[in-house]
Amino acid sequence: MKYETQKVAYPFFIAALLLFAGQVSFGLLAGAVYVWPDFFADFMPFHIMRMSHTNLLLVWLLIGFFGATYYLLPEEAETEIHSPMIAYIQLGIFVFAGAAALISYQFGIHEGREFLEQPLWIKILLTISFLMFLYNGTRTLMAGRKTAISIVLLLGLWLAAIFWLFAFYNPANLSLDKMYWWYVVHIWVEGVWGLIMASLLAYLLIKLTGVDREIIEKWLYVIVGLVLFSGLLGTGHHYYWIGTPGYWQPIGSFFSALEVVPLFAMVAFAFYMFWRGNRNHPNKSAILWTLGCTVMAFFGAGVWGFMHTLSWVNYYSHGTQVTAAHGHLAFYGAYVMLNLAIITFAMPQLRGKRPYNQIRNMWSFWLMTGGMAFMTFTLTFAGVIQTHLQRVMDIRYMVAQDDLTLFYAMRFGSGVIVVIGALLFLWATLGKPREQVPTGATHIATDAA
């Protein structure tokens, strides 16, 4: 670690990981209700578990992005963070707002649009914290060297904050409401967060492979270009059946199908750089997460997204367990694994250690990734059957659900594995370091980072 203020990232990563543990636990509760419908019914109804699960996801991912930015910005800009104090206050506000949302949900206090359930005052706090972050990051960037990585990263974060403002706009006309709701949800995950993802990957690749910045940054611009060229009009794949005009069916189908291209380019990018690179970096588990992230994002977002994105397929699959399957693997592959890659890479340096607990970390990789993959398969089967029963044979929802019990049980089982993997990850990264280097890597230089 070259710059003192990179340390700012440390509490961000700890907060993110703790909330991550909470997120998957709520997922497990919600998954349990599918198998034992009476489970917790009097104590915490399904909708409360679900909004806690998804809100914690978004909050911890954002905290992870903030932390990652504070970590890499000094190195990229070659200057210290503008104000560590603002960073800590900003983190405090964000965590407080997230916790306040979580607690108020348990008392039935929430707004009512999916993912945007936070009460108004909490949304305002989140916005304030986000703006403080952007101020701090932008001041740091302005004061130092401006690399493509830091420019694309901050651009992505700025745009994320700007599109978030649509969360405050809730028209009474349901179709308008839905159309602008996707300005937050789709434009985030398939648009501007793509900038964050690609730039963080580019940073990791420079560090882990030692390939020239010039080459990596060129790829970065090509990839983020492809993300936005396809992803903006790709929003049309949510505008098929909500009262929007029919032209979205060809436009949405065409452009969202193209969204697969940048996802594939990211896989090629990452593997190509490792193939070209000559650096034998000792943090093997960070390499695993980095490569794994691109592969799982390609499958979860790219392949599973494409599966139901053409309007004539989506006509049948829209809003079934197929969507849940895709939502899980896409979020996990693209954004969960991205954060875990950065954390795995940065933690040893933040704690002033050599890469540690790598075996444990890699076990957690395989448990979580295997668990999520299996969960995706079971939900996909459930979704296909549901689609056929309900959308082709016109069997009522609750009757059709009776045939899916087995898949929900398997989803719960794989959820247990994911939670174990997540806890193992926390133990590996936050726990006591054991000097432990994977076999075959014992000879490596120790401080290539």
Partner 1 sequence: MIEGLSRNAARNIFFGGSIFFFVLFVALTLHSHYYIVTESTDHDGLTEQVRMGKHVWEKESCINCHSLLGEGAYFAPELGNVWLRYGGDEDPEAARQGLKSWIRLQPLGVPGRRQMPSYKHLTEEELDALVEFLRWTSTIDTQGWPPTISG
CA atoms within 13 A on the CB side of 139: 13
* 431 touches, from partner 1, ligand HEM, Fe ion, none (C-beta below 5 to 8 Å by class): none
Residues 424 and 375: their CA atoms lie apart, in Å, by 19
Told to check if 236 binds ligand HEM by CB under 6 A, we report: no
Q: Taking Cα atoms as reference points, which of 330, 45, 87 lies closest to residue 185?
A: 330
Told to check if 254 binds partner 1 by CB under 8 A, we report: no
Tell me whether residue 313 is exposed, middle or buried, using C-beta atoms within 10 angstroms of its C-beta: 0 to 12, 13 to 18, 19 or more.
middle
Nearer to partner 1, 245 or 352 (CB): 245
* 45 touches, from ligand HEC, Fe ion, ligand HEM, none (C-beta below 5 to 8 Å by class): ligand HEC
Tell me how many residues contact ligand HEM (CB under 6 A): 43
Please identify which residue in 233, 373, 417, 426 interacts with partner 1, judged by CB under 8 A.
Answer: 233
CB neighbours of 7 closer than 8 A, spacing ≥ 6? 1, 84, 350
Told to check if 326 binds ligand HEM by CB under 6 A, we report: yes
Q: Taking Cα atoms as reference points, which of 425, 420, 424, 412 lies closest to residue 27?
A: 412
Told to check if 305 binds ligand HEM by CB under 6 A, we report: yes
Told to check if 213 binds ligand HEC by CB under 6 A, we report: no
CB of 415 to ligand HEC, least distance (A): 19
Residues 241 and 118: their CA atoms lie apart, in Å, by 26
Residues 356 and 372: their CA atoms lie apart, in Å, by 25
Q: Taking Cα atoms as reference points, which of 73, 83, 62 lies closest to residue 149?
A: 73
Told to check if 24 binds ligand HEM by CB under 6 A, we report: yes
Residues 342 and 63: their CA atoms lie apart, in Å, by 12
Told to check if 186 binds Fe ion by CB under 5 A, we report: yes
CB of 229 to partner 1, least distance (A): 5
Please identify which residue in 1, 18, 21, 47 interacts with partner 1, judged by CB under 8 A.
Answer: 47
Q: CA distances (Å), 20 to each of 51, 156, 298, 425, in order?
A: 14, 22, 22, 10
Residues 117-136 that bind partner 1 (CB under 8 A): 117
Alpha helices in 36-147 (DSSP H): 46-77, 84-106, 120-143
Neighbours of 247 (CB within 10 A): 10
Residues 405 and 400: their CA atoms lie apart, in Å, by 10
Please identify which residue in 2, 43, 107, 172 interacts with partner 1, judged by CB under 8 A.
Answer: 172
Told to check if 57 binds ligand HEM by CB under 6 A, we report: yes
Stretch of residues binding ligand HEM (CB under 6 A), selected from 121-129, 242-250, 308-316, 393-401: 308-316
Nearer to partner 1, 13 or 26 (CB): 26
Residues 126-155 that bind ligand HEM (CB under 6 A): none
Site string for ligand HEM, 413-432 (x = CB under 6 A): --x--xx-------------
Please identify which residue in 83, 104, 128, 178 interacts with partner 1, judged by CB under 8 A.
Answer: 178
Amino acid at 15: A
* 66 touches, from ligand HEM, Fe ion, ligand HEC, none (C-beta below 5 to 8 Å by class): none
Residues 42-71 that bind ligand HEC (CB under 6 A): 45-47
Residues 388-417 that bind ligand HEC (CB under 6 A): 398
Residues 171-230 that bind ligand HEM (CB under 6 A): 189-190
| Exposed e or buried b per residue across 182-206, where buried means at least 16 C-beta atoms within 10 angstroms of its C-beta | bbbbbbbbbbbbbbbbbbbbbbbbb
**3 state DSSP class of 246:** coil
Told to check if 245 binds partner 1 by CB under 8 A, we report: yes
Nearer to ligand HEM, 22 or 302 (CB): 302
Please identify which residue in 18, 28, 99, 242 interacts with partner 1, judged by CB under 8 A.
Answer: 242
Stretch of residues binding ligand HEC (CB under 6 A), selected from 39-47, 71-79, 219-227, 243-251: 39-47
DSSP 8-state secondary structure symbol assigned to residue 82? S
Told to check if 249 binds partner 1 by CB under 8 A, we report: yes
| DSSP-assigned states of every residue in 264-282 | HHHHHHHHHHHHH-----S
Q: Taking Cα atoms as reference points, which of 128, 130, 19, 116 lies closest to residue 426?
A: 19
How far is the first Cα of the chain from the last one, in angstroms, to the nearest whole number?
A: 8
Please give the residue ranges that form the binding site for ligand HEM (CB under 6 A).
Answer: 24, 27-28, 30-31, 34, 50, 53-54, 57, 114, 189-190, 237-238, 256, 259-260, 297, 301-302, 305-306, 308-309, 314, 318-319, 323-324, 326-328, 330-332, 334, 336, 411-412, 415, 418-419
Please give the residue ranges that form the binding site for ligand HEC (CB under 6 A).
Answer: 45-47, 398
